[in-house]
Amino acid sequence: MSAQLTETSRVETAASSAPERRVNPFVRAGLLLLALLVVLALPWYIYPPVAMDILAWGLFAISVDLLLGFTGLLSFGHAAFWGMSAYVTGIIATRAGVPFPVAILGGAAAAMILAVPTGYLAVRRTGIYFAMVTLAFAQMLYFIANQASDLTGGENGLQGIPKSFFGIELVETDAFYFYYAGLPIILLGAFIAWRTVSSPFGRVLLAIRDNPARARALGYDVERYKIMVFVISSGIAGLAGGVFSVSHGFASLQELAWQTSGKVVLITVLGGIGTLWGGPLGAAVVVLLEDQLASSGFDGIGIITGAIFVLIVLLFRKGIWGTVSDLVTRVRGRAATDAQGKHDA
């Protein structure tokens, strides 16, 4: 009987999940192909380091969305895992001399290890208290990184991170080639996120997000599921942070700052919560806007970007991707209703 109730809960949860789950499989395949083509063509139309920033921030936003959009947990200290991986990746790459993909995987593993005690303490709180616990951990790590200057470089940061790719040294002038060398790592992180939310595990996360008490009554260990997704999310954030640090050639305290956590939450909300597609879209808007304003030499970048973000949030209540998806769904529903009316007539 318990197994039957569990399966019923999973079916009901899947039926009430995010809009993209109801998309026609052929449409979804077309969207994936289009996204892959855009990603492959991006450095041909955008300065390659900026294109890589878009991908790194997009994957970082996807990791946050795993918690916020699919589990209902707002982490305001996710910079801890992005920054932890950035530093560990840099230390491994500079001191061990291994290829940068290996160093990035090491940084992601360090982020996941850090996430275990952080998640264990944080998931026992909900709402703003969960956010504050994660923020406190991030600030503690910021202080430790600043004090351990012999290892991290302190306020000067960890500089000179090499781009060694299995015997090939990709210098700063090889940013175009580094983009394609680092792209598989970004795609790996995105695939892990997609596989997580598309599995039975992901449907349990949605049940926990919508009704934790009911999920617990059906026999699910809610805290254990939250810790597991927290660790997965931190690992994906670690992949993004490692790619970001290698791309720029340094890791700084800014990667651990609370502003970084706030920025990625903004990107996630801007693109659309609970969509996965929204993260990269929001990252593209934010990174390109900041790059254009910085290139123009305008000093008040924060004022302009803040005003534009407020305007976008007011116009797109569900984020850019969520609003567009709802609009397409309404148009298709209206067209189907009109066609049915003509058929009945």
Q: Residues 46-101: pLDDT tens digits?
A: 989 999 999 999 999 999 999 998 998 998 999 999 999 999 999 999 988 889 99
Is residue 68, in this structure, part of any structural domain at all? yes
Question: 277-318 pLDDT, tens per residue?
Answer: 888 999 999 899 888 887 776 666 667 777 777 777 777 777
* CA–CA separation, 77 and 106 (whole Å): 21
Is residue 155, in this structure, part of any structural domain at all? yes
Is residue 76, in this structure, part of any structural domain at all? yes
User: How many domains does the chain divide into?
Assistant: 1
- Residue 165: which H helix or E strand, with range? strand 164-165
Question: 133-142 pLDDT, tens per residue?
Answer: 999 999 999 9
Q: Which pTM was predicted?
A: 0.87
Helix 100-122 and helix 175-198: axis angle, to 10°? 40
Q: Which long-range contacts (CB under 8 A, 24 or more apart) does 122-127 make?
A: 122/75, 122/230, 123/73, 123/223, 123/226, 123/227, 123/230, 124/223, 126/73, 127/74
Domain containing 166: what range? 2-6+47-257
Helices (H) and strands (E) in the chain, counts: 15, 4
Cβ-contact 104, 85 below 8 angstroms: yes
Supply the pLDDT for residue 13. 42
Q: What is the mean pLDDT of residues 220-238?
A: 94
Is residue 195, in this structure, part of any structural domain at all? yes
Is residue 294, in this structure, part of any structural domain at all? no
Is residue 80, in this structure, part of any structural domain at all? yes
> Where do runs of H (alpha helix) occur along 199-300?
200-210, 212-217, 222-248, 258-271, 278-295
| C-alpha distances in Å from residue 310, one per residue of 225, 279, 324 | 34, 17, 18
Is residue 28, in this structure, part of any structural domain at all? no
Cβ-contact 289, 305 below 8 angstroms: yes
Is residue 225, in this structure, part of any structural domain at all? yes
219 pLDDT more than 90: no
| Bridge partners of residue 168, in order along the sequence | 165
| Bridge partners of residue 158, in order along the sequence | 251
Q: Tokens representing 60?
A: 């970082």
